[in-house]
Amino acid sequence: MAAGTSNYWEDLRKQARQLENELDLKLVSFSKLCTSYSHSSARDGRRDSSDTTPLLNGSSQDRMFETMAIEIEQLLARLTGVNDKMAEYTSSAGVPSLNAALMHTLQRHRDILQDYTHEFHKTKANFVAIRERENLMGSVRKDIESYKSGSGVNNRRTELFLKEHDHLRNSDRLIEETISIAMATKENMTSQRGMLKSIQSKMNTLANRFPAVNSLIQRINLRKRRDSLILGGVIGVCTILLLLYAFH
């Protein structure tokens, strides 16, 4: 019975780790999609409004965004279900005295799920904000072109309006570049965090599987400390005796 419950717990942990790895890859691709959309939006803003290619590219990226968002939400839901099963297992009757170690492992998986959920919603919000800003700028460009073609007069007021529009577009481009740098930094930090969590997981696994090794190491350290004190005392006594003999 104990072997069966242990295998059930290990199966849940394997499922959780597999889903976490899939989520990590999906979130990196999702972040890169947002970054590429930001760059393409900045390039499209400098193109002529009569070109239909940006519209096609934007539509394709929108479809990719919706598809990846649905896939990530499904993975998060599956990982949440696995965590719930792990929580039920730790609270069920008959679980051995390793309940504290199991709770520690469960909490670590919950923290990873919370981090991935927060990262997904943040990246999704950034993507939506960039898309809405691009739609707004496109509407302004269309209004300007309509005004220019309708009036046919390139007066001082139109020039000031166009200059203000160019200034806003340049400011928007700088903001998008700043967002891109921040996302690249976030990707590097996410990669480093994954490596550190993997190392911590391996260390915790070793500590949980071989508790006798920790106890043996502690006893060896205590014995070495005791031997050092005894040796130091013997050396001190011999030194004092030699000094007394030398000055007698």
pLDDT of residue 172: 76
The pTM for the full model equals 0.51
CA–CA distance, 175 with 58 (Å, rounded to integer): 19
pLDDT at residue 73 in the model: 92
What Å distances lie between residue 143 and 107, 148, 162, CA to CA?
A: 54, 9, 11
Are 117 and 111 spatial neighbours (Cβ–Cβ below 8 Å)? no
Q: What is the pLDDT of residues 174-188, one digit of tens each?
A: 777 777 787 777 777
Q: What is the pLDDT of residue 97?
A: 52
Query: Residues in the chain with pLDDT < 70?
Result: 1-6, 38-59, 93-98, 138-156, 200, 202-214, 217, 248
Tell me, what's the pLDDT at 1? 46
Task: Pick the closest to residue 109 from 215, 9, 227 (CA basis).
Answer: 9
Amino acid 149: pLDDT: 61
Residue carrying the six token digits 């009569």: 50
pLDDT for 54 equals 42
Structural domains of the chain sorted by starting position, each given as residue range(s) with its CATH number in brackets: 1-40+58-147 (1.20.58)
